[in-house]
Amino acid sequence: MDELPIGRRVAYWRGRRKMSQQVFADRLGKSKSWVDKIERGVRRLDKFSVLYEIADILQVDVQLLLGKDPERRTDTLNCIDQVEVEEIRAALERYDSISAYFDAAPYPPPLNDIGKAVTHAWLTYQYGRYGMLTRALPKLLRDAQAADAAYGGGDQGQRAAQLLGQVYQIASSVLRKLGECDLAWLAADRSIAVAQRAGDQLLAGIATTRVCNALVAMGRARPALELNVAIANRLAPGGGNDTRPERVSVYGMLLLQGAMAASRIGDTATVEDLLDGAQAAAAELGSDQNHYWTSFGPTNVELHRAAAAVELGDGGRAVEVHRQKIQDAPFDAMLPERRAHHLLDLSRGFAQIGDVANAGEMLLRGDRLAPSEIRCRPIAHEVMSDVLRRTRGAPPSLIAELAEHMGVGV
């Protein structure tokens, strides 16, 4: 595309953004005829002010319009693009199941291939590579939806539904982190219904945590708390339920997410009760495990204890938990997303107690582990802004560099 005239590049990116000439012209404050002449090369585009305005509307680096390699900041490699958001939205709005009721797809995607892709997507998420994941999600969603629609009942149908439920959960998790809360809730809600069709009670249980996380992000912490606790009680090991590690892990995560919801409404007593229950469940496992992609275990309980303290405004308690309760070896064995997430929580905790230097250091450590967790999350941008605002004089060079990558003004 580099050999194309600049007008053709404008047309290409306008089409990529699914924007008509009229809509583009309206946003630019020009006529449709002006846009048409620019794209056909009849009129020259030689004002840099207009060029930069076009780049802003099309959400591309101006260097792309000039046919040069873009001077892309590192964060743009890791974060989500609005084109990807719209593609994910379009995939979530598909209703293949009802279409297949009338006309089933003759060649559904092989379940083994989808299973491998789902595993890869989970690992991509747990390694904190959100940009890579969001680029792969639209196709993965379409493939999993097509398989679920085509295979119908029986073992294959349940397997297809189970895989689609996981894809919805992956989508919900990464979208919530990137601040797309409405889509996160939609994906999580879809995962609940699909998990029920899959006949997988534990998948439905962990899907509940995704729904509740989305609700919390949307300011609905109390219903999230109530739902987490209600499903945890139904799935609790013992009684009529088995005590497999998978069930213990899902049950423990429901308690942990309930504790996080309770911390959002300042219910300290409930937070402690749920954390203690999760700690008892983790003790049954003995170590951190990744059943149903939960990373649940003793260390993860302490990470949530610190996170809940931050949500309650007790940064000192969060720092104390980190220093006294979290051991280096099991923490270092956890996947990058979990560790970077904790370091972000710890940064918030240090900021709460006025330790700006350590708050910045935690952001740097998190960035080295999983850049997307720090550079892409809105909450991390808020912390960085706070660090910069409260730093006396010029910030340390590494902090200034990270802030630039994040797009946070120094």
Which tokens go with 107? 């060649």
Residues ≥6 apart with Cβ < 8 Å to 148: 96, 97, 157, 160, 161, 163, 164, 194
Q: How far apart are CA 144 and CA 134, in angstroms?
A: 15
Mean of pLDDT over the chain: 89
Q: Is the dihedral of CA 306, 326, 274, 122 positive or negative?
A: positive
% of the chain surpassing 70 pLDDT = 92
User: From residue 256, how far is each of 297, 301, 348 by CA, in Å?
Assistant: 11, 7, 19
Q: How far apart are CA 307 and CA 39, in angstroms?
A: 51
pLDDT at 110 over 60: yes
Which residue has tokens 């809105």? 378
Higher pLDDT, 326 or 70: 326
Model pLDDT, residue 74: 41
Across the strands, what pairs with 83? none
Model pLDDT, residue 76: 42
CA dihedral 297, 229, 176, 341 (to 10 degrees): -30
Which residue has tokens 């902090």? 399
Which tokens go with 400? 């200034």
DSSP 119-130: HHHHHHHHTT-H
pTM for the structure as a whole: 0.79
Choose among 225, 198, 285: nearest CA to 250.
Answer: 285
pLDDT tens figures, 181-231: 889 999 999 999 899 889 999 999 999 999 999 999 999 999 999 999 999
pLDDT tens figures, 6-35: 888 888 888 877 788 998 888 888 999 999
Model pLDDT, residue 103: 47
Return phi, psi of residue 341, to 5°: -60, -45
Model pLDDT, residue 49: 75
Q: How far apart are CA 51 and CA 8, in angstroms?
A: 13
Q: Are 301 and 278 in contact (CB under 8 A)?
A: yes
Residue type, 227: L
pLDDT tens figures, 205-216: 999 999 999 999
Model pLDDT, residue 2: 45
Model pLDDT, residue 4: 65
- Tally of helices (H runs) and strands (E runs) in the chain: 24, 0
Q: Tell me what the mean pLDDT of segment 387-405 comes to.
A: 92
Q: Are 147 and 96 in contact (CB under 8 A)?
A: no
The CATH superfamily assigned to 6-71 is lambda repressor-like DNA-binding domains (1.10.260.40)
- Give the DSSP H or E segment for 247: helix 245-264
Q: How far apart are CA 37 and CA 30, in angstroms?
A: 11
Among 133-142, 161-170, 244-253, 282-291, whose mean pLDDT is lowest?
Answer: 133-142
User: From residue 208, how far is each of 30, 35, 170, 212, 338 by CA, in Å?
Assistant: 48, 48, 13, 6, 20
Domain boundaries, the chain: 6-71, 73-199, 335-410
Q: Are 257 and 214 in contact (CB under 8 A)?
A: no
In eight-state DSSP terms, residue 303 is H
